[in-house]
Chains A and B, each alone.
Chain A
Amino acid sequence: MSAVSADYIARIEGTCGAESDIIVVLKFDKKDQALEKLLKNATLKNQIADMIYNFTYKEHVFRFYASGRIIFKGIKDKQTLNKLIDSLLL
């Protein structure tokens, strides 16, 4: 992951459950800036209750939560995740 992306991120957490979602926890004071980047770089599909932003980027789907978390689905390895994060937070 690039230093620019790392600057937005507090922690990355794996989850248990068969879905193996990955949750990226953004730094609290960076979450709004991160959302602006996502709106610029990815496609916003829809929004739920001003809380959830459903995005797609290439073949990837992910959700941004207003609390500053991004949940990525179906990502197989760390490299893919890092590359994806770099493209989104460019």
Chain B
Amino acid sequence: MVDFYENNNANVHRGVHALSLEATEMYEKSREQVAQFINAKDVSEIIFTRGTTEAMNFVAYSWGLNNLQKDDEILVSLMEHHSNIVPWEIISKIRGFKINYVNTNPNGTLNIKDFENKLTSKTKLVCLNHISNVTGVVNDIKYLSKIVHDYGAIIIVDGAQSVPHMKVDVQDLDADFLAFSGHKMLGPTGIGVLYGKKVLLQQMEPFHGGGEMIKDVTFNFKNQQCITSWNELPWKFEAGTPNICGAIGLAAAIKYLNHINMSNIFAHEQTLTKYAINNLKNLNKITLYGPTDSNRCGIISFNITGFSSHDVALFCDSYGIAIRSGYHCAQPLHQILDLQSTARASFYFYNTVQEIRRFIEILQEL
């Protein structure tokens, strides 16, 4: 990113001068790297966004507003992050369709029976995260997308917690849309990705209007109106000056992750998670949430009797350990699990067993 700002900084797709061409090449190369990383069929299926949240809003406004109507239904799981709930609530108020919420089991896993019961011929869309940011539960998207497609619906997958931690192959999962954020995978903030199947993106109206996303804006002198036509994919969806350096930074992060290898990352995090769960569960005053089997990732939410989650986070912070506390932007999940809030430790591949041991020692002091 420093290299870009020092040597190639210019706007993309605009000038014919050398700097602009270099910047454009770097930006578009980044898109190719993202496409390869998630095995998209076509590079035009990758739209750069500000992050997962913007990607979800993108689909809600661009696809939802134009495709969902009064008698339609959508399914949203109760384990979703607010970014995969609130946009649909907003659009449903405008379009009048019904949102059916899918329950979770007491251990935080998706209630498949409820999912299957609520999926009907009226269902047009299913909104589901790949990995819960509260319990670390991994949803079997490949299996679920097959059922969803059998009903003629489409599925949007929140990959914010999966893409950084495991190999995600959009073709294998058969996801119609997938959203993720750069800052959760060693990239910079303010950059993220919406993957969409080309056939869907082609039918969709633009989310934002402005420069770069148009082919023509022709002023008709007779009727004093402008006639607009859209650019090709993916630029039809990238109005205005994009976060060029952010995309380049994300591609650099992907290069690094590829170098370490996503399978190695997943395996290491599984080791850390097992170690943490096995040792944390022996602590006196702790309650752990989420399943205890292996179908979960390196996210561990818990509470300690006598302390609020914020107390636990402040205590850990005193020792230089950063954990989160509160609802983690997933209030409905906390409500159905009957939790006031939770403290949450999460691991990445740079964490070590020693660090987790130290974390557990510190918790023991409470």
**Interface residue? A8 (CB, 8 A):** no
**Interface residue? A88 (CB, 8 A):** no
Q: Mark B326-366, 1 if CB is under 8 A from A, else 0.
A: 11000100100000110000000000000000000000011
A18→B341 CA distance, assembly (Å): 6
**Interface residue? B140 (CB, 8 A):** no
A18→B311 CA distance, assembly (Å): 14
Q: Which of B32-40, B90-98, B151-159, B313-321 contacts A (4 or more CB under 8 A)?
A: B313-321
Report B-chain residues with C-beta under 8 Å of the C-beta of A60: none
With both chains docked as a complex, state the minimum distance between the C-beta of B305 and any C-beta of chain A, in angstroms: 14
Chain A contact residues: helix, strand, loop or mixed: loop
**Interface residue? A51 (CB, 8 A):** yes
Interface pair A21/B310, CB less than 8 Å apart: yes
Q: Mark A64-78, 1 if CB is under 8 A from B, else 0.
A: 011101010100000
Interface pair A15/B318, CB less than 8 Å apart: no
Interface size for B (C-beta < 8 A) is 18
Report A-chain residues with C-beta under 8 Å of the C-beta of B341: 15-19
Report B-chain residues with C-beta under 8 Å of the C-beta of A3: none
Interface pair B318/A18, CB less than 8 Å apart: no
Report A-chain residues with C-beta under 8 Å of the C-beta of B327: 16-17
With both chains docked as a complex, state the minimum distance between the C-beta of B18 and any C-beta of chain A, in angstroms: 46
**Interface residue? A23 (CB, 8 A):** yes
**Interface residue? B103 (CB, 8 A):** no
**Interface residue? A48 (CB, 8 A):** yes
Q: Which residues of A (13-68) have their CB < 8 Å from a CB of B? A: 15-19, 21, 23, 48-49, 51-52, 63, 65-67
**Interface residue? B52 (CB, 8 A):** no
**Interface residue? B308 (CB, 8 A):** yes
Interface pair A73/B318, CB less than 8 Å apart: no
A17→B365 CA distance, assembly (Å): 24
A47→B318 CA distance, assembly (Å): 14
Give the contacting residue for A15; candidates B317, B326, B334, B366; CB below 8 A.
B326
Q: Mark B142-181, 1 if CB is under 8 A from A, else 0.
A: 0000000000000000000000000000000000000000
Interface pair B318/A65, CB less than 8 Å apart: yes
**Interface residue? B53 (CB, 8 A):** no
With both chains docked as a complex, state the minimum distance between the C-beta of B316 and any C-beta of chain A, in angstroms: 10
Q: Closest residue to B309 on the A side, CB-wise? A: A17
Interface pair A19/B365, CB less than 8 Å apart: no
With both chains docked as a complex, state the minimum distance between the C-beta of A4 and any C-beta of chain B, in angstroms: 24
Question: With A21-B308, A21-B310, A48-B365 as given contacts, are A15 and B325 in contact (CB-CB < 8 Å)?
Answer: yes
Interface pair A17/B308, CB less than 8 Å apart: yes
Report A-chain residues with C-beta under 8 Å of the C-beta of B331: 16
Q: Closest residue to A22 on the B side, CB-wise? A: B310
Q: Closest residue to B317 on the A side, CB-wise? A: A67
Q: Closest residue to B366 on the A side, CB-wise? A: A48
List 8 A-B pairs, minimum CB-CB distance, nearest first. Answer: A17-B341, A16-B326, A18-B340, A49-B365, A67-B318, A17-B326, A16-B327, A51-B318
User: 11 A-B Cβ contacts within 8 A?
Assistant: A15-B326, A16-B326, A17-B308, A17-B325, A17-B327, A23-B310, A51-B365, A52-B318, A63-B314, A67-B314, A69-B314
Q: What would 20 more interface pairs be, CB under 8 Å, given A49-B365, A69-B314?
A: A15-B325, A16-B326, A16-B331, A17-B325, A17-B326, A17-B334, A17-B340, A19-B308, A19-B310, A19-B341, A21-B311, A51-B318, A52-B311, A63-B311, A65-B314, A67-B314, A67-B317, A67-B318, A71-B308, A71-B314
Binding site for A on B (CB under 8 A): 308-311, 314-315, 317-319, 325-327, 331, 334, 340-341, 365-366
